[in-house]
Amino acid sequence: MSDYNFLMESKLSPRQFRVVNLLAQAASAEGLNFYLVGGAVRDLTYGQPIVRDLDFAVEGHPEKILRHLQTPRPGGRRGEPGPVPPHEDEVWVEEARYSPRWLSAEIYFSSGVRAEVSQCRREDYSQPGKPPEIVPATIFEDLRRRDFALNAMAVSLHPNSRGLLLDPTNGGGDIERKEIRALHSRSFIDDPSRIFRLVRLTQRLGFKPEEKTETWLRSALAQQLQNRLTPEQQGRELEAILREENPARTLKLFADRGWLTALDRNLARLRYERLQKIHALAQKFPEDDLFLLNLDALAGGLSAAQRVRLAKKIIRFPGMLKLALHLEREAKKLSKHLLSSRAASPSQVWRLLSPQPRILLLYLLAYSGQSGVQNRIKHYLFKAPQIQARLPRLELQALGVNPGPKMEEILGHLFFDQLDGKIKTSQQLSKAMRSLAGVREPTPLPPTRTRAKPKKSSPATPAHPSDQHETDQAGARPPGRASQKPGHPPGTRPHAVTPRRKKSPSAR
C-alpha cells in the first residue's frame, strides 16, 4: 500500500504541504480527528502530477480550526508589505467563509492555496432534487455519503495515525481500473449535480463510468434531472469548470447541451479563444489556481452589466469579487507603476509587487505586451524567491544572532542587496553578514609556501537587475516541487503561523 506521508510530502507543492501541516496542527491542538479527503487523496493515489485544491474532513466543528488560525501576520496583512520579506514558511488566512448550512469552511491562504474544511456528516435525502438534511457523523459515514468511490477515500492527519488510508468503498480498486463508480443507485436522483461532476471527471482523468453507474446516468439524463439544478448549483459547476486546467473543452460540452443556461443565456454563444491564452499560462504555472483569469477570459464577450451579474453568481468572497471585476483596471495601474521611476531597481519592484495579489501579476504576464513589465514580473516571480530561500539564517545563528527582529532586519538587508546585485559572491555575502551582525572579520592566516592558490570566488545567489534579466524563462519555474528549497531553521517570527516541515523517514 502507498505511503501517504511520503506522497503528501513529495507530490503536494511546498505551499500546499504547509497548509496541510498548518491545519493538521490546528485540529490536533483542538483535539479533533482530521483527514485529507476527496480529490487530493484521489490524485495522490492515481499519481497525478498536480493536486488542485485541498479538501479536509473533521470530526467536530470546522469553526474551531478557523478560530485557531486567526493569528495576525506581523508586519501587516496583504496590501502592506512587511518590513522584510516574510519567512518562506509563513502563511496566513487571507479570506475565510463558514457555511453553517453545509457545516463547511472555505479558506484562501496568503500563498494562494485554497482549502475546504467540512464537518464529517450524513446527508439524508428525503425528496429527489431537494437539499438533504445534514447530520454530523463519523468519518466512515461521511465517506459513504460522497459522490463516487474514488472520491470517498481519506488519509488521517491525526498525529497518532498520520498517513493511514481509509478506503471503505474500494476507490483504490476503481482508480486501478480507471473507473468512476457511484456509491448507490439513487446517487444522481438525490443530487443531479453529480451528473456534471461525473462528466467533468471523465473529461479530466480519461476514466469511464463503471457499468451500473453508466446505466444510472443514462436513466438520470433521460429524466432530464440535470435541468433541476438551481442557479447556485450551476454557478458552483461553472466555478469548478473554470478551475480545470483546460476549461474550454468542458465548457463547450456543457454549453452545447444547454447545461449552464440558468446562469446566463449568453454563455452558450461565447467564444473560448481567450481561454487558450490562460491555458498556455497554466502550463508554466501548474500550481496556480487560474480561476479568476479563466472567468475574465470567458466573460470578455459579455457586456459590463452581464459580467457583474455572472461574477456575483459564482464568487462568494467580497475581496475576490472586487478583484475579479477590476482586474483590467488594476493591471493597467500596476503596469504603469512598474515602468515608472518607482520601480527602477529590483528591490523597488519587490516592494511594489509583494503586496499585490499574485493573480494580477499572472494577468499581466498573460496580456501585457511590454517587455519591461514582463521582465520585472518574471524577475520577481522567479529570482526573488530563489534568493529568499537561500537567506543565511543558519549562518547568522552560528554567528550568535538569535531568531527574532534583529535577525529579520539583517536578512532584509541581505535580501535587498542581493536582489539589487550589490552582493554577488559568497565572499561578499559573508562579509556583509558579519558586518551587519557586528562580528569582526577573522584575521587572515599568514601566507605559507604550502598553501593552495585561492579559488575564484563563487557566486552567492543569482542577483541581477531585472532589466538585464533575460526574457526567456524556458525551463525556469516558480519555486515549487521542481525546485526543492534547502532546509531552514524554524520560523523566526514569533507570531507568524509557521508550520514546521518535518522530514518523514521515507522522504527523499
Sign, CA torsion 224/225/230/232: negative
Given the rule CB under 6 A, which of 189-197, 262-270, 416-424, 431-439 is the region that contacts ligand ATP?
Answer: 189-197
The one among 9, 43, 55, 94 contacting Mg ion by CB under 5 A: 55
Measured distance CA(92)–CA(19) in Å, rounded: 9
Burial of 138 (0-12, 13-18, 19+ CB in 10 A): middle
Q: Tell me the CA distances in angstroms from 247 to 42, 144, 180, 251, one per residue in order.
A: 20, 29, 20, 6
* Site stretch for ligand ATP (CB under 6 A), options 88-96, 187-195, 315-323, 368-376: 187-195
Window of 11-19, 186-194, 363-371, 384-392 that interacts with ligand ATP by CB under 6 A: 186-194
Distance CA 289, CA 462 (A): 28
Q: Cα–Cα–Cα angle for 164, 166, 167, nearest 5°?
A: 140
Within 10 A of 245 (CB to CB), how many other CB atoms are there? 14
Site for Mg ion in 162-191 (CB under 5 A): none
**Count of residues that interact with ligand ATP, criterion CB under 6 A:** 14
Least distance between ligand ATP and beta carbon 21 (Å) = 19
Q: Select the binding partner of residue 191 from Mg ion, ligand ATP, none (C-beta < 5 to 8 A, by kind).
A: ligand ATP
168-205 CB burial, b ≥16 within 10 A, e <16: ebebbebbeeebbbbbeeebbbbbbbbbbbbbbbebbb
245 binds Mg ion (CB under 5 A): no
Instruction: Determine phi and psi for 109, rounding to 5 degrees.
Output: -95, 160
Answer yes or no whether residue 237 interacts with Mg ion by CB under 5 A. Answer: no
Nearer to Mg ion, 55 or 408 (CB): 55
Distance CA 155, CA 11 (A): 14
Measured from the CB atom, the residue of 38 and 85 that comes closer to ligand ATP is 38
Residue 193 touching ligand ATP (CB under 6 A): yes
User: Which region, judged by CB under 6 A, interacts with ligand ATP, from 95-103, 147-155, 433-441, 477-485?
Assistant: 147-155
**Residues 15-54 as x/- pattern, contact with Mg ion by CB under 5 A:** -----------------------xx-------------x-
Residues at the contact surface with ligand ATP, assessed by CB under 6 A: 38-39, 52-53, 55, 146-147, 151-152, 191, 193-194, 197, 240
Residues at the contact surface with Mg ion, assessed by CB under 5 A: 38-39, 53, 55
